[in-house]
Amino acid sequence: MEQISVFDIIKIGIGPSSSHTMGPWKAAQLSLQEALQDGWFAAIQRVRVELLGSLAKTGKGHGTDIAVILGLNGEDHTTIDTNEIGEKVRIIKSTAALNLAGQKPLPFDADKDLIFNFRESLDFHPNGMRFRYELADGQVIEQTYFSIGGGFVLKADEEPARDARRLPYPCQSGADLAAHCQKKNSTISEIVFENEKTWRSEAAIHEELDLIWQAMIACVYRGCHTQGILPGGLNVRRRAAGLNAKLFDGAQYHSIATWLDALVAARPVFHETLKWVSCIAIAANEENASFGRIVTAPTNGASGVLPAVLFYFYCFCKRRATMEDVRRFLLVAGEFGSIFKKGATISGALGGCQAEIGVSSAMAAGALTECLGGSVGQALMAAEIAMEHHLGLTCDPVAGLVQIPCIERNSMGAIKAITAANIALESDPAEAKVSLDSIIGTMWATAQDMHSKYKETSEGGLAVHVPVNVVDC
C-alpha cells in the first residue's frame, strides 16, 4: 500500500507548475545526485536535456527550461530567492556556461543543449525528459525521468520508493479512512495526525503545518499588493491588488499581521465574502504565474484554492479560528489529496484540470466540512460533491502559460468547495447515492477517455480558440 504524507501533497514550492517546473527541477537535481554517488560526475564534459510530450509542448509557458537550467546549476527551488531567478538564467544563457551542481563549471548552450521534442511522447507518462551526459572517455550515460504530477518525480524502470514503516491507519481509499474513523471514534484529522507521527514528532508536525500556513499568508499578501503585468507575453494584468484595495475601501494596515487582522475584522456581507474568496484565490495564483513562492496543494496550477477556502474559514466564519483549527484543516485536506493521488491522479498532463482544480476543490471541501463541525461522512460527501462537479474539466492553458484559464479557475474551485461543504453539512451521508471512491474511479476513467489535446498540451480547448498575440513568451 502506497504511503503518502500530508507534506508530500501540501508543500512550499515555486511557480508556475508543479509538474512542469518543480518536477523537472527536481529531476535535474536527482540526475546529478546519481552522477555524484556513482562516481562519474567529475568526468562530465557535456550535458544535454531533451523535453518530451507535454513538457515540450507547454514547457516554455511553464518555465520548464528555466527549471532544468537552474536545477543543473545547483539551485534549489525550495530556497532560491525568487527575485534572482531571471538574472541567474540570463547570466547562464549569456555566458553559455553553468556551474554543474554548483560544483563544476561546464559549457552549456541553452539553444542547443536544451531540446524541446514536440514529436515524441513516452508511453509511461506524457511528462518525460532525458538527460544525456558525455564523459571524458567518450562514454555516454542517458537517464529518463518522468514528472508525474504535484512535483513527484520517477526515474524510468524504477519502482517508486517504498517506506518500510507501517502506518497505524493505512488509507488507500475513502472507505478505509471512514472505517478507521469509525473504529477509533475519531475525526479525520486525528487519524491523519497519528499517521504523520510515523514520519515526524508531534512538534515537527505542528512546526511544518505552521510554516505552510505562514507561507500561504505571505503568498496571498504579496499577491494582494503587487500590481502590473504577468510575465509570459499574454499581457494579463494582475487583478488581486486592485480588488484587495477596493474591498478594504481605505482600511489601514502596515504589515502582513495587521492586514490579516483587518481582514478578520472586516465581516463582509455575502457578495463581498464571495469577492474576497476570489481575491485570495487569484492573488495566490498570480504569484504562482510569476515564479513566486507558493504552496503546492496538490499542484501549483491549483495553488489558490486551498488558501482561499482556508482564509474563508479563518477570517469569515462564526468565530476566529485558532492555529489548531488551521492544522486540522491542512491535515484533512492533505489526506484527501493523498487518496485522490492513490486512486486516480493529480497530474494535469494525465488527467486534465479535474486532476488539479478538481482535486484541490475536493481537498478544501472535505477540510472545511470537518472544521465547521461536520461528521466524517459529511466530510467525505463534501469532497465527493466538489469533484463530481469538476469531472471532465480540461487542461487547456492559452500559450502554455498558467494564466488563462488557470487563475480564474482557482476562484471557481474555491467557491465550489465552499458550496460543496455547505451542501454536505445539511445532508445525511447515509442517503448519498455517490461515494467518494466511486467519484475517484469515475475521475480516473474520465481521464483515460479524455483526448490528449485536452491534457496540458495547449493543442485544444481555449488554447486554440482564444485569439491572442503573445509578445514576449
What b/e string do you get for 324-347 counting C-beta neighbours within 10 Å, with b at 16 or more?
ebbbbbbbbbbbbbbbbbbbbbbb
**DSSP-assigned letter for residue 266:** H
What is the chain's Cα-based Rg? 22
Q: Check if the beta carbon of residue 382 is closer than 8 Å to that of residue 391.
A: no
Kindly report, residue by residue over 462-472, the tens digit of the pLDDT.
999 998 876 54
Q: CATH number of the domain at 18-155, please? A: 3.30.1330.90
pLDDT for 60: 87
pLDDT for 151: 87
Enumerate residues 6+ apart whose C-beta is below 8 A from 379.
188, 332, 366, 367, 369, 370, 424
Kindly report, residue by residue over 383-431, the tens digit of the pLDDT.
999 999 999 999 999 999 999 999 999 999 999 999 999 999 999 999 9
CA dist 166 and 359 (Å) reads 26
pLDDT for 473: 43
Kindly report, residue by residue over 295-306, the tens digit of the pLDDT.
999 999 999 999
pLDDT for 58: 87
Residue range(s) in the chain whose domain bears CATH number 3.30.1330.90: 18-155
Q: Say what percent of the chain tops pLDDT 70.
A: 97
Kindly report, residue by residue over 69-89, the tens digit of the pLDDT.
999 999 999 889 999 999 999
pLDDT for 165: 76
CA dist 471 and 322 (Å) reads 46
| Residue 161 pLDDT class (50, 70, 90 cuts) | low
CA dist 355 and 302 (Å) reads 9
CA dist 302 and 411 (Å) reads 10
- The lowest-confidence range among 91-95, 291-295, 318-322 is 318-322
Kindly report, residue by residue over 345-391, the tens digit of the pLDDT.
999 999 999 999 999 999 999 999 999 999 999 999 999 999 999 99
Question: How many helices, marked H, and strands, marked E, lie in the chain?
Answer: 21, 9
The helix/strand/coil state of 230 is coil
